[in-house]
Structure 1
Amino acid sequence: MSQKYVKPERLSLRNHAELSEKWVQKLIADDPSILGLGDLVLRDQERIHPRAGRLDLLLQDAETKRRYEVELQLGATDETHIIRTIEYWDIERKRYPQYDHCAVIVAEDITSRFLNVISLFNGTIPLIAIQMQALKVGDSTTLVFTTVMDEMTRGLVDEDEDAEAAPTDRAYWEARATKTTVSLADELLKTVREFDPTLDLKYNKFYIGLSRDGQPFNFVTFRPKKSHLNLDIKLPETEEIDTKIEAAGIDTLEYNKRWGNYRLRLSKEQVKGQKEVLRDLIKLAHERRTS
């Protein structure tokens, strides 16, 4: 069966009678992944900065904790929006220096002159430029975001502080991942409670942690995905632990040297089948947390 081709029509949002900047802002706020910057979570929108206006969107990477100060502009980039983008980034990084920050400007037309100017800053000011195209396909309208200038990589923030700053609930994670993968955190909580029955799961936007009497008490954290669960265990990297994990056939992500975490990628079968190995690792982490 042959595929039907529909030629898209390029739209100008700046001159459109119905599609506004607020419309674009809401689309990104509802699904930040459409920007193509990774697994981002909305922290705030229309964030008021005294004497500097309103920051359109504040986004944060769910894994690395990098924050993105996003300025939207319909039409072509201009010097006013460039200055505003950098100013918002500067205010946020001074207010919250424990986070890594990146300025992002999203515009319909990223001019070559603009790229030449902001490329002078990139390296001292982490800055991303994203070109946005509105296309009408049949009766539908879509947006295409293309990164035309990327940023530098920065650091992370303490997990306990993040848990306090961005609380959420179980329903959030079941929608973000699945009920099945969130239930894997319940299974591992049973193991955790063998060593401390007072601990509970603590839900926030970036991971599911542990709490004691409502306060963060993290030596393991959980990040449910669509088909698996990422488990972070706070342990020093040693050959003995490496061998234990490898012998169990557990998939691993790169060791997080900054925060001292093993990062395991667990399927439902591995949570059940490697219960003793996971118990040993959790016990070690608990002993280090309470010593």
Structure 2
Amino acid sequence: MSDYVRLEPIRMKIDAKYTEKWLQGIIANDPSVLGLGDVELLSKERRQPRAGRLDLLLADSEGRRRYEVELQLGAVDETHIVRTIEYWNIEKKRYPQYDHCAVIIAEEINARFLNVISLFNGHIPLIAMQVQAIKVKDAVTVVFTKVLDENIRAPLDEEDLQQATIDPTKWEKNYPLEIIGIMKQIHANIIRKIDSKCELNYTKHYVGITINKIANNFVLFKPKKKSLEFQVALPQIQQYDSWVESTGFDTLPYDNWFKNYRFLIRPADVDGKPEKLDQLRELVQAAYSEKVG
């Protein structure tokens, strides 16, 4: 078979050519290889007060989340877990204005330590990944596999969201009528045609949705001075990526924390062509099916 290519796994722990520094450099040059979304490098070998050095500090493109990343060649062990959590805690206390997530990366995470990490995961935002170096002909690539995702906690439960409801006029007097108008068009012509029980729910930080007076934010709105940020709660998969791209609207990076696609809709996008908003219909329907059924 002429098109057959043999993949040769490399044990980095025992191969002096592929060191932790080498692996660190690959991630630093292209943090997207970790699959954490649109993230960038803030620091390598970041010195910790009265501790060691954090291998990598990453941040999402929105500047809201930071990832404290610790690498280990070979199998994960107790010291690696403790060190990762310690550095996460230090950074969290120094910079409480950000969300923080600890990331453990090792060549091997066996069942015993995966169970231990899972216990911490219930209280600490924690991601565990296995990394494998693979030789393909004369090239070497690395593959990162997430074996434990963080335990996502909702920022507000339904009861909290109900208590956060405010008078709609407080929103409407602070933003241009054309921006509020786009929001109301989407609500009336798309959302309510999917489910007539959906009502706008005005809270301090955004406008969400209630169904039978219970909050269910399968979509939400964030009016701005010059545009409307419209968010659709869907997992990031290729099918939805293609749908989002086909709308032609400008987008913001996918929100990995809340799992939302985000659009920026300006009055110029829809003036004289209100039918353009119909291009959002499939995505809104999919989000409704995902969260409501």
Q: Which residue of 2 aligns with 1:115?
A: 114
Would the aligned equivalents of 1:100 and 1:154 in 2 still touch at CA under 8 Å?
no
Aligned counterparts, 1:1-291, within 5 A: 4-63=3-62, 65-153=64-152, 240-244=181-185, 259-260=205-206, 261=222, 262-263=228-229, 267=248, 274=269
Unaligned runs of 5+ in 1: 157-232, 250-254, 278-291
CA deviation string 1:180-217 (max 9, x = no partner): xxxxxxxxxxxxxxxxxxxxxxxxxxxxxxxxxxxxxx
Would the aligned equivalents of 2:133 and 2:142 in 1 still touch at CA under 8 Å?
yes
Question: What displacement does 1:64 show?
Answer: 7.2
Number of aligned residue pairs: give it.
195
Question: What displacement does 1:234 show?
Answer: 7.5
Unaligned runs of 5+ in 2: 156-173, 191-200, 207-221, 223-227, 231-243, 251-264, 273-293
Identity of aligned residues (%): 54
Name the CA shift for 1:137/1:256 in 2 (closer, same or farther; >3 Å): farther
Q: Matches of 1:3 and 1:83 in 2, distance apart?
A: 48
* TM-score, structure 1 normalization: 0.58
Q: Matches of 1:102 and 1:272 in 2, distance apart?
A: 37
* TM-score, structure 2 normalization: 0.57
Q: Matches of 2:153 and 2:61 in 1, distance apart?
A: 14
Name the CA shift for 1:44/1:82 in 2 (closer, same or farther; >3 Å): same
Question: What displacement does 1:271 show?
Answer: 7.0
Question: What displacement does 1:273 show?
Answer: 5.6
RMSD: 3.7
Q: Matches of 2:176 and 2:97 in 1, distance apart?
A: 23
The amino acid across from 2:30 in the alignment is D
Name the CA shift for 1:64/1:49 in 2 (closer, same or farther; >3 Å): closer
Name the CA shift for 1:87/1:257 in 2 (closer, same or farther; >3 Å): farther
Would the aligned equivalents of 1:74 and 1:107 in 2 still touch at CA under 8 Å?
yes
